[in-house]
Structure 1
Amino acid sequence: MLYPTTLESKLGFDTIREYLKESCISSLGQDYVGKIRFTDNVQLIDKLLRQTTEFKQIVQYETDFPSSNYIDIRPHLSRVRVEGMALTEAEFFDIKLALRTIQECLRFLSKREEDNTFPFLRELAGPIAVNKSLADAIERVIDDRGNVKDSASPELASIRRRIISEQANLRKRLDGILRQARQNGWIPDDLNLTIRGGRLVIPIAAEHKRKIKGFVHDESQTGQTVFLEPAEVFDSNNEIRELEYEERREIYRILLALTDQIRPHLEDLRKAVNFLAQIDFIRAKAKLALQLDAVMPKLSERPLVDWTTARHPLLHLSFQKQGKTVVPLSVRLDEKSRILIISGPNAGGKSVALKTIGLIQYMLQCGLLVPMADYSEMGIFQNLFIDIGDEQSLENDLSTYSSHLTAMKQFVIGANKRTLFLIDEFGTGTEPGLGGAIAESILEDLNKSGAYGVINTHYTNLKVFADKTAGLINGAMRFDGEHLEPLYQLEIGRPGSSFAFEIAQKIGLPKGIIDRAKEKLGSQQVNFEKLLKELDIERRVFSEKNLEIGINQRKLAQQLAEYTALKTRLDNEQKKLLNDAKQKAKALVQEANQRIESTIREIKENKAERETTRQVRQELERFDKKELMPEVLVSDKPAPVEEEFETDNGAITAGSYVRISGQSAAIGQVLSIRGKDAEVRIGDLKSNVKLNRLEKVSRKVFKDATDVRDDRPRSQGVDMNEKMQNFSFNLDIRGKRGEEALGEVDRFVDDALMLGYPELRIVHGKGDGILRTLIRNHLRGYKQVGRMEDEHADRGGAGVTIVKMK
């Protein structure tokens, strides 16, 4: 059920019909446009929408689909029903062209059967058939200019040959007479033979008309020229005329026979023409859908409104011409929130939103694609009721408010769970207090009926009622409270302010009037409107902040991904370098140990001969300088020089500090004594040495020698390898005391210098900047430190110090 009867014009669907008619090729499709009707048959709606969707693809991508000669031949077929009636050549020509178009459409669709495209259009074409023998018969008789062919019958061909022959003879004779008349000066040189009354005649000056015997058929408007048929060609013209009569009789006979041949196929031809009309109509719907960027949403048999980015069709077409875009509408009405109460300022877009919902729903249930996102879902309603605009009538003695109440009576009586109602300016037209109370009672009744609907209102009591009542939900047309400009965006979930005072202030109404109005209204209502305004402003601010946060989060995610990839690559490279260094260090240490063991063995075997011992020691030192230092030692300290140590004359016992005679580097500690042999630990090595080859040294000499040896390549290589495995270029000292932090920084920098790191990162936090200042002042005392700077703002800024080494 639709209410009122003027629903189409109120929603603007009559304009949609006009657009469709303009898109039709012929009156065939236009007739179907006039037959569009609202329906709640889901299967029919689905089929109509799918047909249009398929034709959208044809219009966009298929250039070989026929697009001409959609001729309405229904009047011709009606004449065929009359026995003894013969169609004219022009009528047969129309039928020929229409049948050719129908055959091309059927041929196009049949080719698509293999790849199973356009199934709904192929289903439409399924029962359509054009009798091939009938089409061939028409093709044999009617040529491509709409005339009967010479080959239509042997008699016609003979008659036309004779006509041509007689006309040639006649023209030859008249040319001779015309030439003679020119020579005599009776006819101007620029005049030629012409036809009057179907007969060839000569144009001749009026004063010379009696000089040639014949019959005058006509004269010019001035009377200075007459058109004369010479007497000697009377018989020839008569002969041609008689042949033309014979030709017309033969043509009529042929056309009558062809008409009789068509008569048995009238029903199939009517179906074929109807198919052509449907194709024209569906094409028009597809072309309109392309203009609207319309789609087929998901259909639901239950009542539902779940739309995303819906646009008012007529507004979209109008804005398209102006190069503007329509602000889209997103709305959802379901079983929990069936009735939407839209509030907001005047000229804020409430009425447009209401008409958008009504027109789009009506279009869908008329089988038209709709402008919205294709993942939207649309339900099917049985009833569509609207109350939009002023329906006052002098004839029926109806005021504006009376007309609204009349509509509300129909709504309350007819509303059910499959009803969609739309009400603009609910309850207006009478005293606001009374109108608001009546409107709330009607709304309560409509809610109990289970109907779905959208209502525009300014009444506060309806906003409060919607907030407290199940099945109802508030909505607001967004408004820029700072600049007092409408945004035309629907926000569901909260009521909107009318911004009456703000708009009055912007227009320039005196401040005193506005203040008095606020006093008269009462603090409760003013506070309510103020709260709505503040909520709108806060929502806009938080929306902008959320957008900014979203952008920053995306940037952070991208930088994190880049950092992770870079760190992974650096870690892999570091592991590779460490593994290579570890292998080299291990090989060098093994070789050094072998050299030391070999040296000790040679010393033993040569029984500490001084010259041999010195040569072996020098060879070992050369190996140290040549092999170990370039590969392992990372230090700018000079190579240690050989020193002379002071000996201690005391007896050698367990725990004494000793050196091997003649070897300044071989200083160690006696672990135990067994007879004439002593077990000595030299660095990381243990060895048995004869007591007479050992010299006792003081603890100070041992300590100095041990410090020097710690800087030597062999033992340093082992320490460096371990440090390289455990070292990180990032030091976090947040929360530590100054003295403790400086100690960690010193160890950190020493390790970095030893391992050769060019850049370090110290995390100290921002705070008051005390720890940062302390650390940076301390680092300036290192001559190896080149410069210091803050980390990038995205990675810690002033809370992190980057140390660049020289």
Structure 2
Amino acid sequence: MIYPDNFEQKIDFQKIRQLIADRCFSPLGKEKVEEMKFSSDFDEILEKLLQTEEFVKIKEEEDNFPVDSFFDMRPVLRRIRIEGSWIDQNALFELRRSLQTINGIVAFLKREEDKDPKYPHLLGLTEGIVTYPEITKKIDQILDGFGQIKDHASTRLSEIRRELTTTINGISRSLNSIMRKAQAEGFVDKDVTPSMRDGRLVIPVNPSHKRKIKGIVHDESASGKTVFIEPSEVVEANNRIRELESEERREIIKILTEFTNYLRPFLPELLESYEFLAKIDFIQAKASFSLYIGGIMPSIENSQKIDWVQAVHPLLDLALKKQNRKIVPLDITLENQNRILVISGPNAGGKSVCLKTVGMLQYMVQCGLLIPLKENSRVGVFEDIFIDIGDEQSIENDLSTYSSHLMNMKFFERRCNDKSLLLIDEFGSGTEPQIGAAIAEALLDRFNRKKSFGIITTHYQNLKHFANEHEGVVNGAMLYDRHEMKPLFRLTIGNPGSSFAVEIARNIGLPEDVIADASEIVGSEYINMDKYLQDISRDKRYWERKRDEIRRENKRLAELSSKYESSLEDIDKQKKEILAQAKLQAEQLLAESNARIENTIKQIKEAAADKEKTRQIRKELNSFRDKVGDFADNNLQVTNGVPLSKSKFEKGNKKTNKTEKRKNISSSSAAIKHDKLKPGDNVRLKGQTSIGEIMDVSGRKATVAFGMIKSTVDIEKLDKVSNNQLKKEIKASNTGDFIHEKRLNFKQDIDVRGMRGDEALQAVIYFIDDALQLGISRVRVLHGTGTGALRQIIREYLGTVNGVANFQDEHVQFGGAGITVIDLE
């Protein structure tokens, strides 16, 4: 829905229509330009944009697209639906040429239909379009290449024209004979030739000799010095020519009538074909316009948002180019958290241009037009666009400007929702300021609660405060050069703007005592209100930035934790696989060993007292034992996840007194550990940094949870971690890496020369905060000497910061008063 009815007039969209219409080839496309309208159907909008984008590619890359003969034949085709009517010769020629164009366009778009089509969205328009090449062939039998009826269009026409030619040639011979005789007698001048009057061949004769030549006088020259006589010898022949010409016309009408009767059954399909030609003409005009203004296919989403980078108002850009001036592009974002933008700033600073740019481009894109902005922009779709801009005073309806604005606001408040875009200029103006500001704030609150999107321009302080204090509404400012006292036409989001009323009044030469009296009337607090708002917004942005940094750091730590847990799971899985494989290999080895021993015993028994054979058998057994030993050395045994060599494995199975003694000592140590460690204690593996929590203690074993991983570990391999130590390590792990990296990248000098006062102060505030956070003892601010304004602003701020111990000028050899050295506590 678009409101009000003159929405297009308010944003100058009629000029866009005219620029597109001027690029149409025929009335076919111009008709579609007039029919172009706003749509909130995402699929329809997307299809129109893609069609236009494809035609832009055609214009840029293709040379053989048919662009001739875009004739609107629909009126002719509708007229000949009546029985007995016929199509005239010129219309038939245009029909043939336009049908050839339609056939050529369809063939062009379908040339790669079997493969991956190059222009699929334009190809979709050809569905159901019948080209009828036989109609073109039929016309070619009637007309020649110049649109004239062929002699052989019918047998009778051929006969008529043959007789006509013969008769005309006979008359020419007769006239030439008469002319030569008359010239010889001096009745006709030597350089005179036969002429045509009323379709009859005549001889130009001097009036004094007109009685000398028998015939009919048909005409006289304007000067009266020449009369045109048809000699009596050729009168009959000229009469015959007239008869033959009439017969020729009747035969041509007969031919055209027969063709029309042939054509009439195809008229519905042909009308559809010309509707297709109209769409193609319209789309190519939109593509041509897009190239003219630098429009692109935006990244469009089926949601409500505006995220534009370097957006340009096309009409303003064209006007400035004629003046050899450059436009200042618009960067603007409206999304869920910041749906309504309240723009403030001085008059003639570009607030209304910003509002009109948003209205124009959003309306254009929902009419299916490509728009001028950067490729990384994102465009949403709104169901409604409401606008209130300009002077709406109405004498007919007895409405003042303010009353008219309130009528619009009433409509907005009733109809707006979370899919509406509101564009309101000079919100609340036109009446007594206090009540106007109060009503505007109440309406803004309603719009925000309904989660509408919008851009609102204002000078009211209360609306700036509202935007600063309510989620969903954000301040914006049109930047202004205080030193040059001129607007920069650049939008910045996050800060409220100032009207610079005092500065502008002073710049144009208003007496200083008048400015002083005005300032006293409103009070210094009101004069400084803009500064206070900017300070609040600056601090808000600073802490939001800090919060985002913490969120990013927490996310990074969560990713690292997830990565480590995943790695531990992989290690545990590998451990289980190795244990299973070792167990299987051990079972196979044991089975083979038993089989070998049994076989050896059997062979020794069978060998009886044969010592040589027994020795050989023992040798084979020893060889097998060595092979088993090599296998054990190359494949470590695994116990509780700790690898042991073959020798350790063997030693672990020898039950000597020494081993028993060591076992008893170990058991004693484990008992001591058991007394010290209990469920809930924080521990770490000896030589490791990861901290876990004891879940259960059983004998010499403890079940420990390391994050999501539970493991059973010998108590003697664990060290207890105190609560204080645990807190320190958690804090260090969360912030240590971040602080260390920031300290490495921190520069102890900052250069604010060339910045405006508020920008320089904001930069110094962030700089000092970071230095205090990182524990830096001394920093320097390079502000230059100049007028001393920057130096004074910065030092006034430093005097209010608790962490600043001292600040003074740098040594004269290193910059003197142009640099402030700051010692931090």
Given that 2:494 and 2:537 are in contact with CA atoms closer than 8 Å, whether structure 1 keeps it comes out as no
1:224 to 2:225 alignment = yes
Structure 1 match to 2:369: 368
2:510 is paired with a residue whose SS is: coil
Structure 2 match to 1:111: 111
The CA distance in 2 between the partners of 1:488 and 1:465, in whole Å, is 24
Q: Could you say if the C-alpha distance between residues 126 and 320 of structure 1 is closer, same or farther in structure 2, counting changes exceeding 3 Å?
A: farther
Superposed, which structure 2 residues align to 1:191-230 within 5 Å? 191-230=192-231
The CA distance in 2 between the partners of 1:23 and 1:189, in whole Å, is 56
RMSD: 1.9
The CA distance in 2 between the partners of 1:189 and 1:28, in whole Å, is 56
Q: Deviations over 1:452-492 (max 9, x none)?
A: 00000000010001100111000000111121111111100
Give the C-alpha shift of residue 392 in structure 1.
Answer: 0.3
Amino acid at match of 2:255: I
The CA distance in 2 between the partners of 1:66 and 1:320, in whole Å, is 32
The CA distance in 2 between the partners of 1:487 and 1:412, in whole Å, is 33
Structure 2 match to 1:492: 493
2:504 is paired with a residue whose SS is: helix
Structure 1 match to 2:15: 15
Amino acid at match of 2:128: P
Give the C-alpha shift of residue 45 in structure 1.
Answer: 0.4
The CA distance in 1 between the partners of 2:538 and 2:413, in whole Å, is 38
Structure 1 match to 2:167: 166
**Residue range with higher mean Cα deviation, 138-147 or 49-58:** 138-147
Amino acid at match of 1:163: L
Amino acid at match of 1:369: L
Give the C-alpha shift of residue 321 in structure 1.
Answer: 2.9
Structure 2 match to 1:710: none
Amino acid at match of 1:36: M
Amino acid at match of 2:38: F
Given that 1:428 and 1:435 are in contact with CA atoms closer than 8 Å, whether structure 2 keeps it comes out as yes
The CA distance in 1 between the partners of 2:471 and 2:152, in whole Å, is 82
Given that 2:495 and 2:534 are in contact with CA atoms closer than 8 Å, whether structure 1 keeps it comes out as no
1:129 is paired with a residue whose SS is: coil
The CA distance in 2 between the partners of 1:182 and 1:345, in whole Å, is 93
Amino acid at match of 1:347: A
1:127 to 2:91 alignment = no
Amino acid at match of 1:451: S
2:22 is paired with a residue whose SS is: helix
Structure 1 match to 2:261: 260
Give the C-alpha shift of residue 263 in structure 1.
Answer: 0.2
Give the C-alpha shift of residue 535 in structure 1.
Answer: 11
Given that 1:298 and 1:375 are in contact with CA atoms closer than 8 Å, whether structure 2 keeps it comes out as yes
Amino acid at match of 2:210: K
1:175 to 2:168 alignment = no
1:202 is paired with a residue whose SS is: strand
The CA distance in 2 between the partners of 1:424 and 1:142, in whole Å, is 63
1:423 to 2:424 alignment = yes
The CA distance in 1 between the partners of 2:186 and 2:528, in whole Å, is 109
2:110 is paired with a residue whose SS is: helix
Give the C-alpha shift of residue 320 in structure 1.
Answer: 2.8
The CA distance in 1 between the partners of 2:509 and 2:245, in whole Å, is 89
Structure 2 match to 1:2: 2
Give the C-alpha shift of residue 158 in structure 1.
Answer: 1.7
Structure 2 match to 1:799: none
1:77 to 2:66 alignment = no
Amino acid at match of 1:17: R
The CA distance in 1 between the partners of 2:435 and 2:478, in whole Å, is 25
1:141 is paired with a residue whose SS is: coil
Amino acid at match of 1:19: L
Structure 1 match to 2:278: 277
The CA distance in 1 between the partners of 2:287 and 2:190, in whole Å, is 61
Q: Could you say if the C-alpha distance between residues 237 and 506 of structure 1 is closer, same or farther in structure 2, counting changes exceeding 3 Å?
A: same
Give the fraction of aligned pairs with identical amino acids, expressed as a percent: 46
1:370 is paired with a residue whose SS is: coil
Structure 1 match to 2:388: 387
The CA distance in 2 between the partners of 1:189 and 1:27, in whole Å, is 54
The CA distance in 1 between the partners of 2:101 and 2:210, in whole Å, is 55
Q: Which runs of 5+ in 2 are unaligned?
A: 540-813, 815-825
1:297 to 2:298 alignment = yes
Q: Could you say if the C-alpha distance between residues 188 and 436 of structure 1 is closer, same or farther in structure 2, counting changes exceeding 3 Å?
A: same
Q: Could you say if the C-alpha distance between residues 536 and 164 of structure 1 is closer, same or farther in structure 2, counting changes exceeding 3 Å?
A: farther
Q: Deviations over 1:296-319 (max 9, x none)?
A: 111111111111110001112222
Given that 2:340 and 2:474 are in contact with CA atoms closer than 8 Å, whether structure 1 keeps it comes out as yes
Q: Deviations over 1:689-718 (max 9, x none)?
A: xxxxxxxxxxxxxxxxxxxxxxxxxxxxxx
Superposed, which structure 2 residues align to 1:661-700 within 5 Å? none
Q: Deviations over 1:114-139 (max 9, x none)?
A: 45201111111122112122121012
Give the C-alpha shift of residue 532 in structure 1.
Answer: 6.8
Q: Deviations over 1:371-405 (max 9, x none)?
A: 11122111111111000100001111111111111
Amino acid at match of 2:282: F
The CA distance in 2 between the partners of 1:191 and 1:126, in whole Å, is 64
Given that 2:465 and 2:533 are in contact with CA atoms closer than 8 Å, whether structure 1 keeps it comes out as no
Q: Could you say if the C-alpha distance between residues 537 and 466 of structure 1 is closer, same or farther in structure 2, counting changes exceeding 3 Å?
A: closer
Given that 1:389 and 1:424 are in contact with CA atoms closer than 8 Å, whether structure 2 keeps it comes out as yes
Give the C-alpha shift of residue 247 in structure 1.
Answer: 1.1
Give the C-alpha shift of residue 430 in structure 1.
Answer: 0.6
Q: Deviations over 1:127-154 (max 9, x none)?
A: 2112122121012111222221112112
1:23 is paired with a residue whose SS is: coil
The CA distance in 1 between the partners of 2:255 and 2:178, in whole Å, is 39
Amino acid at match of 1:210: R
The CA distance in 1 between the partners of 2:202 and 2:376, in whole Å, is 77
Q: Deviations over 1:711-755 (max 9, x none)?
A: xxxxxxxxxxxxxxxxxxxxxxxxxxxxxxxxxxxxxxxxxxxxx
Given that 1:499 and 1:529 are in contact with CA atoms closer than 8 Å, whether structure 2 keeps it comes out as no
Give the C-alpha shift of residue 99 in structure 1.
Answer: 0.5
**Residue range with higher mean Cα deviation, 150-159 or 482-491:** 150-159
Amino acid at match of 1:125: T
Given that 1:481 and 1:537 are in contact with CA atoms closer than 8 Å, whether structure 2 keeps it comes out as no
Structure 2 match to 1:522: 523
The CA distance in 2 between the partners of 1:170 and 1:430, in whole Å, is 92
2:202 is paired with a residue whose SS is: strand
TM-score, with structure 2 as normaliser: 0.64
Structure 1 match to 2:46: 46
**Residue range with higher mean Cα deviation, 183-192 or 418-427:** 183-192
Q: Could you say if the C-alpha distance between residues 110 and 71 of structure 1 is closer, same or farther in structure 2, counting changes exceeding 3 Å?
A: same
The CA distance in 2 between the partners of 1:498 and 1:504, in whole Å, is 11
1:283 is paired with a residue whose SS is: helix
The CA distance in 1 between the partners of 2:190 and 2:362, in whole Å, is 76
TM-score, with structure 1 as normaliser: 0.66
Structure 1 match to 2:477: 476
Structure 2 match to 1:455: 456
Amino acid at match of 2:379: M
Q: Which runs of 5+ in 1 are unaligned?
A: 539-792, 794-806
1:111 is paired with a residue whose SS is: coil
